[in-house]
Structure 1
Amino acid sequence: MHTVRAPLVPRRTAAAAAVVLSGVLAAGAALGGCEYVYDDGRGPLPTATAPPFTDPALPQDPRRNLPVTGAELDQWVEQVLPETAGQVFHTGFGLLKAGTTRQESTGHLPSGTYSLTLACKSPRRVSFTVRNGELALVDLSLRCGTSRVNVIHVANDAVLSVEVAAQSAANFAYRISRL
């Protein structure tokens, strides 16, 4: 009897073919995956590109935080302490030299609730402390260029003390008005 044998394939070739076949199958599975499409109702994106934004931002005036005097100080105070609907009991403003502190007192305030508006103009922060006797009603370091409004309550008739301190030259302004 005569047996026909199939030609033998070397083991290395069979192993290499198996690796190539598994790589092709993996790539086919990755490329043949499903794509998820979500319709959000907005339609297709425009194909034209928007023109580049060319409006340059103007740099801020470096002098805007420098303290002023005279008519400029009066104009600044009118700007940062606008008129109020309530009765104004006390307004204070001025110029502080670098490293100085100023202490002022209000007139007689009857018991009630008041609005205290604080503002400053300086390259650095300015500290405000408002006291009713030994009790500090407001104690804060204000970033200049902003105004701060605090509501304070005076239980009994009082005279408040207002202390303003600055590390660099500064303008300050404050107003106490009844709510």
Structure 2
Amino acid sequence: MPRQAAAAAAGAAVVLSIVLGVGAVLSGCEYVYDDGRGPLPSATAPPVTDAALPQDPRRDLPVSGPELDAWVQQVLPETEGQVFHTGYGLVVAGATRKESTGQLPSGTYSLTLACKSPGRVTFTIRDGEFALVDLSLRCGTSRVNVIHVSEDSVLSVEVAAQSAANFAYRVSRI
């Protein structure tokens, strides 16, 4: 019996080898039917784009007078907290404008920053020598920062831009 089992195992191995070999050879075969026609044209639809109105190129240009007041009302909407200081204006290209808030009692405040310019505007808010906020803001957006003043202080505000810009900021108690 052991001799028959060995012969059966050897036979099974040979059959398995042949099946695997034939399978490997046939796996590379593909049936191709040639009916004499050329390839079908591929339909290329034009890309779909959303309808967009062209933007006003003057949208990001600084304004003055009543237009500036209207812009400030838009970017610094009314807040529920007590407003301690609001500042806004125009900074000329390449210059830095410096302002200061009134006396702020110690506490936590919301500082909202906004600008209107084709470029970025840099805001630096300091409590003495310590910078509470130092950021370059992409115009067209508003930014709200939470700051904490540990003792009564007057904050200094520096606004700088590479191109003429409107700026606005508001300090309100949370």
Percent identical among aligned pairs is 75
Distance 2:134 2:91 in 1: 18
Instruction: Give the aligned partner of residue 103 of structure 1.
Output: 98
Choose the corresponding residue for 1:77, options 55, 59, 72: 72
Normalised to the residue count of structure 2, the TM-score between the two structures is 0.73
C-alpha deviation, 1:100, in angstroms: 1.2
- Looking at CA atoms only, which structure, 1 or 2, has the larger radius of gyration? 1
Normalised to the residue count of structure 1, the TM-score between the two structures is 0.71
C-alpha deviation, 1:165, in angstroms: 0.7
C-alpha deviation, 1:130, in angstroms: 0.3
The C-alpha deviation readout for 1:119-172, integer Å capped at 9, x for no partner, is 000011111000000000000111101100000000001000000011111000
Instruction: Give the aligned partner of residue 121 of structure 2.
Output: 126
The alignment partner of 1:72 has SS state of helix
Instruction: Give the aligned partner of residue 160 of structure 2.
Output: 165
Distance 1:55 1:90 in 2: 42
Instruction: Give the aligned partner of residue 13 of structure 1.
Output: none
Distance 2:147 2:49 in 1: 47
AA aligned opposite 2:144: V
The alignment partner of 1:73 has SS state of helix
Structure 2 gap ranges (5+): 1-20, 32-44
Distance 1:138 1:31, change over 3 A: same
C-alpha deviation, 1:96, in angstroms: 1.2
Structure 1 gap ranges (5+): 1-21, 33-49
Distance 2:92 2:27 in 1: 79
Q: Report how many residues are paired.
A: 140
